Structure 1
Amino acid sequence: MTTLSYASRVSGKERPRRSLIARALRFWPIVPALVFLAVFFLVPVGEILQGGLFDANGRFGLAQFGRIAETPVYAKVLWTTFSIALTTAALSVILGYPVAYLLSRMPGRSRERWLLWIVLPFWTSYLVKTYAWMLLLSRTGVLATLGNSLGLGSHPGVAVPSLTGVLIGMVHAMLPLAVMTMLPVMRGIDTRYAQAAETLGADRGVSFLTVFVPLSAPGVAAAGLLVFITSLGFFIVPALLGTPAQTMIAQLVISSVLETFDMRFAGALSTVLLLCSIVIFFAYDRIVGLSSLTGEIAERARGSLLRSWAFGALFMIGRLIPQRKRGKASGMRAPRFGALHAYTLVVLAALVAPVLSVIPYAFTRADYIAFPPRLFSLRWFSTFAASPVWRSAVLRSFEVGIGTAVLSLALGFGATLALTRMRQRASKPLFALLVAPLIVPRIVIAIGLLYLLARLGLTGTNAGLIVGHTVLAIPYVVVTLAAGLRQFDWRLDDAARIMGASAPKRVATILIPLIAPSVTAALLFAFLVSFDDLTIAIFVSGGINTTLPKQMWDDIQLAVTPTLAAVSTTLVALIALIVWVSSFLKREPH
């Protein structure tokens, strides 16, 4: 009896201990990602916050912030930055909502085909898109030339540089992001809600306004958040398409670092951006919830929205719509080709056409850019390929891009896998940390990394660039894999575990093959994030041997040349190839 009692007590002590160890082992894959972000994201951003609190003599104070508040020029730049970012977010969401709605109602195969034309401009380099608008909107560009030839005259307000040009360029860059953020939430809306509303007497317009619109609000909020935060850190578009009156904060930060070498003031400017981003981020989380970034509609958000005054207002507006003769409940099927399809085609054409408009200039025989281009010659591709500077930039971009893709996928896969096994109370703050680099403006991350990597001796090295780009890529990897793991049937993993398969073997033989499309997409997204980045490259690449975006940035500020058109055309072809491969691999299991 005594022996049995002792044994049971020992067993009782060992079981919780083993259970605790087993639980810890299940969560260890997230540790490398957390350590990486703590060292290369939290520490640099924390230094930015700290750096703005000291003056040039190292004394603690708010003098840097007082300088921002008291100088009218800086106050105007702050106002310009926030107004342009807010306008961009509003226009992107308004223009993109009908497109996302139509795509959400389409069958899977049709939706994938339409999405290709959104993904292509989405992943095309900001520099290429801005270069395209420079060619289209300049006073001697395509639109001005066609307007003069048709007797319509030119419109100085539209030509670049101008505020209109900045807004056109930024909305063109951000509209695909808005559509792709709203789409997963819209796809998650159960069409039976609309069918129930129509069964109870509401026509399609009423059911759309009173059911679909409130339920899609988390996606709208997520799209507005990401577009607004991303736009706050823009400097390419306003620098190339705007006048000094459209100067944004990121341009001041770059000027403070590279021209006046005033690192503390750059830190104070970055802190203002960071604090605004944090406030918006937490407000968004309180109202909607972070889960909507992966396409989920939080129950809290759904319930609060359906009980809000907005629901009642939309219902009243819906009741004012003339009622049609009601038949069977139609649900929310995509309508036949009509106004919505026509609108979506116009939007897609507006997204793709500027990107493709660069291609003819790459084949011009002239030594300069002029419309119409004098075709046909391959000399500018030869110039691009023969230049040791361009070749070195391309090679370095590929090396850094591949390194970034591998590292960010390794860190992000383990982190996402661990998150799926956690309770919501633990997973929510960790998920917030993993996607935080997506929320913080890139210019803030870049300045912080400049401080840290300089002390570590990594500025100007591929390792430094890979570290910086991995910080930016991890959120894309985590969000992409989280969406894929949400569709995974974990009963298959349980069955393999019962049969005796170890955790690594289950991951290698069951999990990865079944979510291969998401893994491939995450890998490609990480590569493209690195390949397209200019912000980190400006501060970290160093020296003459730089990356392709940095080399394009240096050249485009000097002159708009046919060589840049050849480089841009090559990049468009590369992006199109990657998008096609991603789409092909995604269809392969079917």
Structure 2
Amino acid sequence: MTDTSPRPWRPSPLWLAVPGFVLLVVFFAFPVARLLVLSVQDAQTGGFSLASFARITTTDVYIRVLGITFKIAGYTAIFSLLLGYPLAYWLARMPDAVRGRLLLFVMVPFWTSYLVKTFAFMLLLGRTGVINDLLLGTGIVSQPLPLINNEFGVMVGMVHAMVPLAVMTMLPVMTGIDRRLVQAAQTLGASPVHAFWLVYFKLSLPGVAAAGLLVFISSLGFFIVPAFLGGRRETMLAQLIIAQVQELLNWSFAGALAAMMLLAALVSCWVYDRVFGLSTVTGQGSDGKEASGRLRLAGLALLHGLASVCALIAMPVNRLFGPRAGRAMLPAVSWAVIAFLVAPTLIVIPIAFTSSQFLEFPPPGFSLRWFETYFSSPLWVQATVRSFLVAGATAAAATVIGGLAALALARGNSRWNGAIFAFFLAPMIVPRIVIAVGLFYLFAQIGLVATDLGLVIGHTVLAIPFTLVTIAAVLKSYDTRLDQAAATLGANRLRTLFLITVPLVKGGLIAAFLFAFITSFDELTIAIFVSGGVKTTLPKQMWDDMILQLNPTLAAVSVVVFAIVTVLLLVAERVRRSP
């Protein structure tokens, strides 16, 4: 006799993603969409109007700023790939243990605040900075070089900020390439140069394109580096948006500028998805998409040309210097890139202990007076305490929400998994300045401007993609048969989650918590708008002081921020890699 009784209803694992989905809809998708609607509204009547877009396209100043923004973002992507690829390739060849230690030289600069890094370059590249003092002192130049307040300063600062992102995006793809394929190509008669370009480089292209995509989109929303290292000719789109909102309260025009930036980001994502698939952005490998037809033939022809040119260059180099010099070139270039990433921030450390009232290198004497100034200032202490509290709350919320979403995607086999994953990653794709302005408009209407809750919500939106990716990576190696065994022994899903799953993935959870904490602790874009000038965080206070005057107190604050981020990052990496 067949049992026709209905089976008990079991909720889909995708329900675990509902809290994060709702949060992102309300505090990410809706504010961004509302900002785009404002761009086509008349400020006086509220009716439909394209006047803001017409103003952009008919005013030389705005057209020039658009061109500068796209040019600098494009150059930043190109130079970040040129510097980042050799380093990522070198790291991918290392044993896992060695790679993990060397990767810290990339991770620490990546998570270090943009403000700290920009401040370091102001000390290095300024008219009376370290480099000019060195060149003048050695007699190499007779007058200071213009290394700052121009396009060169902006490019140096932005490439320095984006190279770690490029390396961390390319590295997972490179480590997944089977190096025996290159050896097989050489066995079949290909030269080492041709084997690299036509096999290894071709297989690493999804990672290269993903790195270029993320760097380009991130660079579109930059405003810290051009504000301090550039001049008026290097004004970028994000700076115009900030001015339109904070100084003129012209929401319609700010929305139009944001729409232009968002359109560029979405078009870039669409092109990348059509060629490679968006999943490779997180290092998950290709979606099986591959360019075909004329594009693929043109790409192969280009790779053949690059291989031939490199082979011609390699032959005389090997004859002159020998094969050993050729093998030493990759480590030398990689260490040079690491020095470029690490050295600028380290310059700030001795300056923070100077006895002088001015920013001098080397310091004339040792003193703790600037740390005493920092710790005795109620303004700095309050900003620091608020940053810790907001970062702690953000990390807790983002870890729970991102962890539930990662679990939902790992357990569910729905056709909606890809769309949900892309939606949760969207705050990492959409320029932060667009999210910040949209949230500011929403929070102004519901009374969350100048509140800690508003800061926590905004920072949580930005941190969710990092926690999702971190926890999802841990769940990939999780054996689901352990859950089945627990269920067989009578445990329900809730007990299984807390007694089996969570303890086994706690390393990933702690790492995700710390990454979210760092994301919030260093965040400035949301704080500029949502803090309202009242609930000042540490990065916001640094921003305000850097605009007014550079002083050794800022160096002391930079050292504190750098030390906190470095310690948290070391703990996160140690926990994440522990069994």
TM-score of the superposed pair, with normalisation by structure 1: 0.92
Q: 1:319 to 1:577 in 2, by over 3 A?
A: same
Give, as a single letter, the amino acid of the residue that structure 1 aligns with 2:208. V
Match of 1:95 in 2: 83
| Residue of structure 1 equivalent to 2:211 | 223
1:172 Cα shift? 0.4
- Which is further off, 75-84 or 364-373? 364-373
The answer to whether residue 216 in structure 2 is matched with residue 214 in structure 1 is no
1:332 maps to which residue?
none
The answer on whether the counterparts of 1:369 and 1:561 sit within 8 Å (CA) in structure 2 is yes
Take 1:344 and 1:485, find their aligned partners in 2: how far apart are those partners? 32
Q: How does 1:257-406 map to 2 (within 5 A)?
A: 257-301=245-289, 308-315=297-304, 317-318=306-307, 321=311, 338-406=328-396
8 Å Cα contact 1:157-1:164 kept in structure 2: no
The match for 2:13 is 26
Displacement after TM superposition at 1:274 (Å): 1.1
- Alignment length (residue pairs): 567
Residue 342 and residue 239 in structure 1: after superposition, are their counterparts in 2 closer, same or farther (change >3 A)? same
Letter in 2 for 1:288: F
Q: What runs of 5+ residues in structure 1 fail to find an aligned partner? A: 326-334
Q: 196-205 vs 465-474, which deviates more?
A: 196-205
One-letter amino acid matched to 2:369: R
Judged with a 3 Å threshold, the aligned counterparts in structure 2 of structure 1 residues 205 and 249 are, in CA distance, closer, same or farther, namely same
TM-score, length basis structure 2: 0.94
Contact 2:275 2:291 in 1 (8 A): no
User: How many angstroms apart in 1 are the aligned matches of 2:120 and 2:307?
Assistant: 41
Q: Report the counterpart of residue 56 of structure 1 in structure 2.
A: 43
Residue aligning to 1:481: 471
Rounded to whole Å, the distance in 1 between the matches of 2:545 and 2:314 is: 59
Displacement, 1:194?
2.1
Is 2:76 the counterpart of 1:122?
Answer: no
Checking the alignment, whether the CA contact within 8 Å between 2:391 and 2:520 is kept in structure 1 is yes
Letter aligned with residue 431 of structure 1: F
For residues 132-187 of structure 1, give each alpha carbon's deviation from its aligned partner in whole angstroms, at most 9, with x where no partner exists.
Answer: 00000001010000000111116766421111000000000110010001101111
* Distance in 1 between residues matched to 2:313 and 2:152, nearest whole Å: 40
How much does 1:91 deviate? 0.6
- Of residues 415, 420, 424, the one that matches 1:430 is 420
Q: Distance in 2 between matches of 1:313 and 1:243?
A: 37
The residue aligned with 1:331 is: none
1:330-358 CA-partner distances (Å, limit 9, x unpaired): xxxxx997211111111111110001100
- Judging changes above 3 Å, is the alpha-carbon distance between structure 1 residues 561 and 155 closer, same or farther for their aligned structure 2 residues? same
The answer to whether the Cα contact below 8 Å between 1:293 and 1:479 also exists between their aligned partners in 2 is no
Q: Report the residue type matching 2:166 in the other structure.
A: A
Q: What are the superposed Cα offsets for residues 381-420 of structure 1, whole Å, 9 maximum, x if unpaired?
A: 0000000000000000000000000001111001111112
2:159 to 171, 176, 196: 171
SS at match of 1:358: helix
The question of 1:460 aligning with 2:447 is answered no
- 1:86 lines up with 2:74 in the alignment: yes
Helix, strand or coil for the counterpart of 2:139?
Answer: coil
Letter in 1 for 2:58: E
Q: Name the stretch that deviates more: 300-309 or 188-197.
A: 300-309
1:423-473, CA deviations, whole angstroms, 9 ceiling, x for partnerless residues? 363111111100001010001000100111112211111100000001111
In the alignment, is the contact (CA less than 8 A) between 1:203 and 1:324 conserved in 2? no
Please state how far the C-alpha of 1:209 moved relative to its aligned partner.
1.0
Match of 1:413 in 2: 403
What is the identity, as a one-letter code, of the residue corresponding to 2:221?
G
What amino acid maps onto 1:529 in structure 2?
A: T
What residue identity is the alignment partner of 1:481?
I
Whether the 8 Å contact between 1:460 and 1:540 is mirrored in structure 2 is yes
In the aligned structure 1, how far is the partner of 2:363 from the partner of 2:314? 53
**Is 2:150 the counterpart of 1:162?**
yes
**Residue 478 of structure 1: how far off its partner (Å):** 1.2
CA distance in 1 between counterparts of 2:241 and 2:360 reads 34
Distance 1:317 1:272, change over 3 A: closer
Matches within 5 A, 1:515-554: 515-554=505-544
Per-residue deviation, residues 209-232 of structure 1 (Å, max 9, x unmatched): 111111111111111111111110
* 1:563 matched to 2:550: no
Secondary structure of the structure 2 residue equivalent to 1:563: helix
Specify the alignment match of 2:26 in structure 1: 39
What one-letter code is carried by the residue in structure 2 that aligns with 1:45? V
Using a 3 Å threshold, how does the CA distance of structure 1 residues 509 and 208 change in structure 2: closer, same or farther? farther
Please tell me whether the aligned partners of residues 467 and 512 of structure 2 are also in contact (alpha carbons under 8 angstroms): yes
In structure 2, do the counterparts of structure 1 residues 307 and 61 end up closer, same or farther at CA, with 3 Å as the change threshold? closer
- The equivalent position to 1:256 in structure 2, one of 220, 229, 244, is 244
> Are the aligned partners of 2:511 and 2:575 in contact in 1 as well (CA < 8 Å)?
no
1:159 is matched by which residue type in structure 2?
L
For the 8 Å contact 1:465–1:541, the answer to whether it is kept is: yes
Cα distance change on mapping 1:322 and 1:281 into 2, 3 Å: closer
2:279 partner letter: S
* Residue aligned with 1:338, SS: helix
- 3-state SS in 1 of match to 2:416: helix
| Separation of aligned partners in 2, 1:344 and 1:513 | 38
Shift of 1:575: 1.4
**Alignment-mate amino acid for residue 406 of structure 2:** T
Structure 2 residues not aligned, in runs of 5+: 316-324
Distance 2:305 2:558 in 1: 50
3-state secondary structure, aligned to 1:33 = helix
In the superposition, relative to structure 1, how do residues 510 and 52 fare at CA in structure 2: closer, same or farther (>3 Å)?
same
2:352 and 2:553 in contact (8 A); partners too: yes
After TM superposition, the structure 1 stretch with the greater mean CA deviation from structure 2, 278-287 or 427-436, is 278-287
How far is 1:191 from its partner?
2.4
Q: 1:513 to 1:198 in 2, by over 3 A?
A: farther
User: What's the counterpart of residue 448 of structure 1?
Assistant: 438
Q: Structure 1 residue 278: deviation in Å?
A: 1.2
> Structure 2 CA distance, aligned partners of 1:283 and 1:155?
47
Per the alignment, residue 330 of structure 1 pairs with none
3-state secondary structure, aligned to 2:289 = helix
Report Cα offsets for 1:253-304 as digits up to 9, x if no partner.
1111111121211111111111111111121111111111221222523686
Q: CA deviation at 1:319?
A: 5.8
The aligned amino acid for 1:457 is G
CA contact (8 A) 1:182 1:216 kept: yes
Q: Does 1:189 align with 2:171?
A: no
**Kept after mapping to 2: 8 A contact 1:404/1:527:** yes
Are residues 351 and 324 of structure 1, via their aligned partners in 2, closer, same or farther at CA, if it must alter by over 3 Å?
Answer: closer
